[in-house]
Amino acid sequence: MKYQKSEARDFAREHLLGVWAATPTPFLPDLSLDTGGFDTNLRHWIDDLLVDGFFVGGKQGEFFSMSVAERKLLAETAVQACNGHQRKAGAMISCSDQNMDTVLELGRHAAGIGADYVVVHSPMLHFASDVDTLVYEYYRYLADALPIALVMWSHPDAGYVMSPELCARIASDIPSVVAIKYSAPRDHYIRLTRLAGHELIVSSSSEVEWFDNIVELGWRVYLCSIPPLLYQTAGDRRLRDYSLLAWAGEVQEARRIRDSLDPVRNALKMSRTRGTPHAQQKYWLELLGQVGGPVRRPLMDLTGGEREKIRAEFGRCGLT
For residue 55, list its beta bridge partners.
22, 92
Rounded Cα gap, residues 160 and 139, in angstroms? 16
Environment class of 26 (CB within 10 Å of its CB; exposed 0-12, middle 13-18, buried 19+) = buried
Output the pLDDT for position 101: 98
Total number of domains in the chain: 1
Judge whether residue 292 has pLDDT over 90. yes
Mean pLDDT score, 295-319: 96
Rounded Cα gap, residues 236 and 254, in angstroms? 15
Output the pLDDT for position 127: 85
Mean pLDDT score, 179-187: 96
**Pairing between strand 117-121 and 221-225?**
unpaired
Does the residue 288 lie in any domain?
no
Could you tell me which residues come within 8 angstroms of residue 147 by beta carbon, excluding any fewer than 6 positions away? 1, 5, 108, 111
pLDDT digits (tens, 9 = 90+) for 262-281: 999 999 999 998 888 999 99
Does the residue 272 lie in any domain?
no
Output the pLDDT for position 255: 98
Distances (CA, A) of 304 to 156, 231, 297, 307: 32, 23, 18, 5
Q: Which of 221, 227, 185 is nearest to 201 (CA)?
A: 221
Q: Number of helices and strands (H, E) in the chain?
A: 14, 8
Output the pLDDT for position 275: 80
Output the pLDDT for position 96: 97
Does the residue 92 lie in any domain?
yes
Indicate the pTM of the whole model.
0.96
pLDDT digits (tens, 9 = 90+) for 184-238: 999 999 999 999 999 999 999 999 999 999 999 999 999 989 999 999 999 999 9
Residue 252, helix vs strand vs coil: helix
Q: Return phi, psi of residue 285, to 5°.
A: -60, -40
Does the residue 73 lie in any domain?
yes
Output the pLDDT for position 178: 98
pLDDT digits (tens, 9 = 90+) for 116-134: 999 999 999 988 889 999 9
Does the residue 32 lie in any domain?
yes
- The amino acid at residue 92 is M
pLDDT digits (tens, 9 = 90+) for 138-173: 999 999 999 999 999 999 999 999 999 999 999 999
pLDDT digits (tens, 9 = 90+) for 81-120: 999 878 999 999 999 999 999 999 999 999 999 999 999 9
Output the pLDDT for position 162: 97
Output the pLDDT for position 234: 97
- The amino acid at residue 22 is A
Output the pLDDT for position 129: 85
Could you tell me which residues come within 8 angstroms of residue 7 by beta carbon, excluding any fewer than 6 positions away? none
Mean pLDDT score, 282-304: 97
Contact present, 180 and 151 (Cβ < 8 Å): yes
Q: Domain limits at 91? A: 5-235
Residues 203, 208, 213, 216, Cα dihedral to 10° = -160
pLDDT digits (tens, 9 = 90+) for 17-70: 999 999 999 999 999 999 999 999 999 999 999 999 999 999 999 999 999 999
Domain of 187, CATH number, reads: 3.20.20.70
- Residues 306, 311, 316, 320, CA torsion sign: positive
DSSP class of residue 64 equals: G
Output the pLDDT for position 130: 93
Contact present, 155 and 183 (Cβ < 8 Å): yes
Distances (CA, A) of 32 to 51, 62, 63, 292, 304: 26, 13, 13, 13, 23
Provide, rounded to the nearest whole percent, the portion of the chain with pLDDT above 70: 100
